Amino acid sequence: MREPRWIKVGSYLVLTIAAIIAVLPAIWVFVTSFKVESEIFSTQVELVGRSGITFANYEFLLTRGDFQQWFMNSVIVAAAVTVIGVFLAATAAYGLSRYRFRGRNSALYIFLVAQMFPGIILLVPLYNFFVSVGLIDQLPALVISYSTIAIPFSVLMLKAYFDTIPFDLEEAGQVDGLGVFGGFWRIVLPLSVPGVAVTAFYGFVTAWNEFMLASAFLVSRDKLTLPVGLSTFIDPFNQPWHLLAAASVIISIPVMVFFFLAQRYLISGLQTGGVKG
């Protein structure tokens, strides 16, 4: 089809404006993180402060004991959730993908409905549960909560992925003496690397970004995760913007790297799994 010229021009115009709006706030925070505190409070729009680029904000944060501790806590929680979440979701998804049994449809439906649970409804009873088992103010409370919260979406996505892998492959494997678990572990999982990558990414991001439960379950300053720790910096009357900006960059970079590595898989996964359910 011959494109009229105005469509092409209009398309580029809209894309350019949209791309600027999408990227500009991120760039602004990024450049701000390299300014000295006093130059942030300027009404002039400057990409680089008058005294040039400074790494002082990063140095200050990265040498602070509490920020290091929060970063480690977040890494530990997110890593544990990634591993446990993938394992739980993959086994369940395999059962749902490879077997027809009574209660299968109900199980699928439950996973769908579970995506609707507001975190807030779990907040009160989970708080009580962790108090009673002595896990309040402990990182395992978060690992347990986040792994479970990430499960429904992950199961549906991995199931859709497993569905695309022909069953013949496992049958062939069984002829060669692989058991049922061997078929899952040696054949289906290795063929599902993109699906597993997305599930891992989803688990990691869920854990890395969650604030509400963490702020309710964690008390001691050395136990906080990054979102909760960062929120202790926030002071409506005197925001330390230089630190918030640098912290934002430090916190976002791991996620953005993963995101752009995983985005191709993420998108095709969303299209086959998340969206079609």
Partner 1 sequence: MRSRSWVAWVFMAPTLIAMALIVFLPLVQAFVWTLTDIDRSNMGTRFKEASWTFTGLDNYVTALQDPDFQHAFVWTIVWTLVNVFFHFTLGLLLAVILNQKLRGRTGFRLMLLVPWAIPIYISAIGWSFIFNGEFGLLNNFTALFGIGRIAWYSEFPWYYVAPIIVNVWAGVPFMMVALLGGLQGIPQDQYEAARVDGASRWQSFWNITIPGLRSVSTMVILLGIIWTFNLFAVIFFTTRGGPAGKTNILVTFAYQVFNEGELALAATFGVIIFSILIVFSLFYRRLAPERA
* Span near partner 1 by CB under 8 A; candidates 56-64, 65-73, 120-128, 188-196: 120-128
State the nearest-atom distance from the C-beta of 193 to partner 1, in Å. Answer: 20
> 99-118: which residues touch partner 1 (CB under 8 A)?
99-102, 104, 107, 110, 113-118
> 123-182: which residues touch partner 1 (CB under 8 A)?
123-129, 131, 144-145, 147-149, 151-152, 155, 167, 180
Task: Collect all residues with Cβ–Cβ distance below 8 Å to 76 and sequence separation of at least 6.
Answer: 139
Q: Is the distance from CB of 98 to CB of 162 less than 8 angstroms?
A: yes
Specify the residue, 28 or 55, whose C-beta has the smaller distance to partner 1.
Answer: 28
Residue 122 touches partner 1, criterion: CB under 8 A: yes
> 238-267: which residues touch partner 1 (CB under 8 A)?
239, 241, 244-245, 248, 251-252, 255-256, 259-260, 263, 267
* Span near partner 1 by CB under 8 A; candidates 51-59, 75-83, 192-200, 268-276: 268-276
Specify the residue, 223 or 243, whose C-beta has the smaller distance to partner 1.
Answer: 243
* Binds partner 1 (CB under 8 A): choice among 38, 51, 105, 231: 231
State the nearest-atom distance from the C-beta of 98 to partner 1, in Å. Answer: 6
* Binds partner 1 (CB under 8 A): choice among 98, 138, 165, 178: 98
Specify the residue, 67 or 241, whose C-beta has the smaller distance to partner 1.
Answer: 241
Spatial separation of the C-alpha atoms in residues 199 and 274, rounded to whole Å: 11
Measuring CA to CA, how many Å separate 74 from each of 68, 70, 176, 202, 262? 10, 6, 43, 15, 20
Specify the residue, 113 or 172, whose C-beta has the smaller distance to partner 1.
Answer: 113
SS3 266: helix
Give the distance from CA 34 to its chain's centroid: 26
Task: Spell out, one character per residue from 24 to 53, where the chain touches partner 1: x when CB under 8 A holds, - when not.
Answer: -xx-xx--x-------xxxx-x--------
State the nearest-atom distance from the C-beta of 147 to partner 1, in Å. Answer: 7
φ/ψ region of 230 (left if φ > 0, alpha if ψ in -120 to 50, else beta) reads: alpha
Measuring CA to CA, how many Å separate 66 from each of 107, 186, 205? 43, 43, 22
Measuring CA to CA, how many Å separate 64 from each of 71, 164, 177, 214? 11, 49, 56, 21
Specify the residue, 27 or 53, whose C-beta has the smaller distance to partner 1.
Answer: 27
State the nearest-atom distance from the C-beta of 152 to partner 1, in Å. Answer: 8
Task: Collect all residues with Cβ–Cβ distance below 8 Å to 55 and sequence separation of at least 6.
Answer: 34
Measuring CA to CA, how many Å separate 242 from each of 36, 77, 187, 227, 233? 7, 27, 50, 17, 11
Q: Is the distance from CB of 195 to CB of 161 less than 8 angstroms?
A: yes
> 185-224: which residues touch partner 1 (CB under 8 A)?
205, 208-209, 211-212, 216
State the nearest-atom distance from the C-beta of 140 to partner 1, in Å. Answer: 12
Q: Is the distance from CB of 57 to CB of 243 less than 8 angstroms?
A: yes
